Structure 1
């Protein structure tokens, strides 16, 4: 499922403490299966302008917002596969486009030293984004430990749990290892529901019974606000 290069879906976030997380996992275990990555460490480099124009605009909660990031599963070497991702959100719907490159290729491409290796619609969208914002540079490293599942009844429904979310504004490379300052409080987990359609009634009922309600949360936004104080 993670090899799909385009997504259009709703993404709903929730903050859970350990007790609620454990209760929910117990309730869901018969309905979910781990996806191909299962449990993994996800590392990201977010790109922004020197004055953080992109994240500052996103924090204003506009109807439309967008982000550019580089993602790897674990610390990446120069020849390891990484994803260049353009994430857009319009009126509550998330649209994600991504292409695969080696880390060395992606660093050269996003720095403007080389052109896209092939002419695809996704690379054209990324090029337009880079041209529109101008002087984009690595701005923030964010990593987290993720459990990823999809529904046995509807594989289009995905549920992820993130913990140990960390950020740093130095050593902005996916090759530099996992370290940084924590974003979440001890014992907190960030859950995301990702669905192309409506959330099923059975899941809505479970969330309601456990008192789990949506929360506004942006990893990059929270990291930026922590940095600027």
Structure 2
């Protein structure tokens, strides 16, 4: 059975393609590909749930000591009978806690939509189902808000499974066609050639990794895929509003000029 409860620290790094290639090769002395990396990459697709007014992500961006997200995750593009994972991702004082249960795709959709806990099957986690049920009732109006997928490479420490490093690229997102089975297309979130690396450790990172990060000039950054997509969406909306306001102001100015010109002509004609 797949691991369904994670507790770990996560540090994130944005890098260019050249930095990725150099650092990835350096890591292979200490790390090996995980079981999903049978090919060069594997694809992960996610559906994030939030309220009508985006309560979860807006709260998360305020950087509180406690924050949480609810998402549905699949490996590749699923069909209605595919096994997917409904996940609660929490962050408490910097420690990431992820709890998930396997479900079939339609079971997951129905659970969120109806708030009726599915009949327990042997592939489900009863405790996590109860925790998700609590979140669904607490927020009341959760619905799909964002589709987000990416291509991933993942490595495990050869000496310990406590350390995992992932590299994500081709991060694509959309706020339409909010079904995992509809395909993994969308707008790009990162600049061309950019990679997002995540270092995930249950304990402190080993000394060799700290040295490698320093040698390659890589420094931690704060980066949430969902959070950055939301901020990008807000910027776009504000730009559109600003453009519309400018057009309205220009139209009003032209109307005033036309009215002034008409008045002037009438005055001249009367004189």
Secondary structure of 1:36's aligned partner: coil
Q: Which residue number in structure 2 is paired with residue 11 of structure 1?
A: 10
Secondary structure of 2:180's aligned partner: coil
In the alignment, is residue 78 of structure 1 matched against residue 77 of structure 2? no
* Residue segments in structure 2 that go unaligned for 5+ positions in a row: 236-271
In the alignment, is residue 35 of structure 1 matched against residue 37 of structure 2? no
Distance between the aligned counterparts of 2:127 and 2:14, measured in 1?
35
In the alignment, is residue 168 of structure 1 matched against residue 181 of structure 2? no
Number of residue equivalences: 228
Q: 1:171-186 maps to which residues of 2 (within 5 A)?
A: 171-186=177-192
CA deviation string 1:53-110 (max 9, x = no partner)? 1000000111100000000011110000100000000000000000001111111111
Distance between the aligned counterparts of 1:104 and 1:121, measured in 2?
20
* Residue segments in structure 1 that go unaligned for 5+ positions in a row: none
Distance between the aligned counterparts of 2:68 and 2:222, measured in 1?
16
Q: Tell me which of 199, 213, 216 is aligned to 1:193.
A: 199
In the alignment, is residue 50 of structure 1 matched against residue 40 of structure 2? no
Distance between the aligned counterparts of 1:108 and 1:193, measured in 2?
34
Structure with the largest fraction of strand:
1
TM-score between the two structures when normalised by the length of structure 2: 0.82
In the alignment, is residue 226 of structure 1 matched against residue 226 of structure 2? no
Larger Rg: 2
TM-score between the two structures when normalised by the length of structure 1: 0.97
Distance between the aligned counterparts of 1:151 and 1:122, measured in 2?
28
Secondary structure of 1:125's aligned partner: helix
Distance between the aligned counterparts of 1:180 and 1:214, measured in 2?
27
Cα pair distance change 1:113/1:122, threshold 3 Å? closer
What's the C-alpha RMSD, in Å, of the aligned pairs? 1.2
By how many angstroms is 1:224 displaced? 1.0
Distance between the aligned counterparts of 2:115 and 2:126, measured in 1?
19
**Larger RCO (CA within 8 A; separation ≥ 6):** 1
* Structure 1 stretches of at least 4 aligned residues deviating more than 3 Å after TM superposition: none
Structure with the largest fraction of helix:
2
Q: Which residue number in structure 2 is paired with residue 64 of structure 1?
A: 66
